[in-house]
A = this chain, B = another copy of it.
Amino acid sequence: MERRQTAFLFDLDGTLVDSVYQHVLAWHEALEAEGINLSVWRIHRKIGMSGGLFTNMLLRETGGSALDPERAERLQKRHAESYGRRSKEIRPLPGAKELLAYLTGEGIPWTIATSGRMATARPTLDTLGVDPDKVPVVTRDQVKYAKPDPDLFLAAAARLGVAIEDSYVVGDSVWDILAARRARALGVGVLSGGYGEAELERAGAYRVYEDPLALLNHIDEVGGRR
């Protein structure tokens, strides 16, 4: 019997890079500039979805009406600017670079799938030392529906040439874990994006680790061997 090849599909913000809180406050600033007042924790709990999706969702939940395309585009631009000003504070999460280097060294396929657009993802990938011209990173620009739809992770598995059923999706938000289930991948949670352990478990995470370093230290639990 041929052994199945495990692969790892990573979310970016909050999973490999310590950038969630800056993204949250950048969305807060962008929304305020558009006259939309939402509590910061509500933005945090929706982040990981695409910006347009979570904004419309929050507007609906809080009784407002959906964004027109022009305003949605302006909001994306304001967010990218605000995040850019904050991006000097962004650091890779502990163990993130080491985890990716370990997988590469073991010949285990991996890539990154993010709900962000390449314009905001590129500086974040830079801090991680990942070159999107070499690693087949999948961004919001390349799929029609972002998380919690499964498309980003399905596209990532296809670009690696691996079966989604043999892939682990590693993410910090319930939207990653939900997208993993819908894609038929195994979801692994990390706490480094600021969600609680129970939220990730309830969403269906098979295992939850503190951060990429803890995942690397327990890599055998998720079949991370050649």
Chain A residues in contact with chain B, CB under 8 A?
Answer: 14, 18, 20-22, 24-25, 28-29, 32, 37, 39-41, 44-45, 89, 91, 93-94, 191-199, 202, 211
Bound state CA distance, A20 and B40, in angstroms? 9
Identify the interface centre among A25, A40, A93, A192: most chain B CB within 10 Å of its CB: A40
By the criterion CB–CB under 8 Å, are A28 and B191 in contact?
A: no
Dominant SS at the A interface? helix
Q: How far does the alpha carbon of A193 sit from the alpha carbon of B89 in the complex, in Å?
A: 22
Residues of B within 8 A of A196 (CB): 195-199
Query: Given A25-B22, A25-B89, A40 and B194 touching (CB < 8 A)?
Result: yes
Q: Could you name 6 residue pairs across A and B whose Cβ atoms are closer than 8 Å?
A: A20-B41, A39-B192, A39-B211, A40-B194, A41-B192, A41-B193
